[in-house]
């Protein structure tokens, strides 16, 4: 199984930030999905997934993000992603048009 870790979860005001480190692929996508689902707060209006330390994200990881955005939208919550411009994830995100569905920010600031 590919290594990943949810390294940080913090809530400020009405935003919860979940920082995901490592790689997300077919071998761990369900585990990653469940880990994120378990920690997402129903009280936060915005969930930000910080992918800054994430080094790899395949199509199963991207599918998780699309499904999470749909689920949160149903709960009247918004999903945002943090992906730096020089991240290796940018190509995959752009190929799937994910930034047209989920806001992608360059930093947490």
Amino acid 61: pLDDT = 94
Mean pLDDT computed over 14-18: 94
- Global confidence as pTM: 0.90
Domain regions of the chain by residue span: 4-105
H/E stretch holding 11 reads strand 4-12
The domain defined by 4-105 carries CATH number 3.40.50.300? no
Mean pLDDT computed over 77-86: 96
4, pLDDT greater than 60: yes
> Are the beta carbons of 5 and 22 closer than 8 angstroms?
yes
Please provide the DSSP assignment of 55-97 as one string: EEE-HHHHHHHHHHHHHHHHTT-EEEEE--TT-TTHHHHHHTT
Tokens of 56: 């790899």
């Amino acid at each position: 199984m590919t290594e990943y870790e949810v390294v940080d979860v913090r809530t400020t005001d009405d935003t919860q930030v979940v920082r995901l480190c490592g790689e997300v692929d077919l071998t761990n996508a369900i585990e990653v999905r469940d880990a994120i689902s378990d920690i997402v707060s129903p009280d936060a209006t915005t969930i930000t997934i910080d992918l800054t330390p994430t080094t790899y994200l395949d199509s199963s990881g991207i599918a998780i993000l699309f499904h999470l955005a749909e689920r949160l939208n149903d709960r009247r919550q918004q999903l945002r992603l943090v992906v730096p411009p020089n991240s290796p994830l940018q190509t995959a995100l752009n190929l799937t048009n994910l930034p047209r569905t989920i806001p992608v920010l360059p930093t947490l600031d």
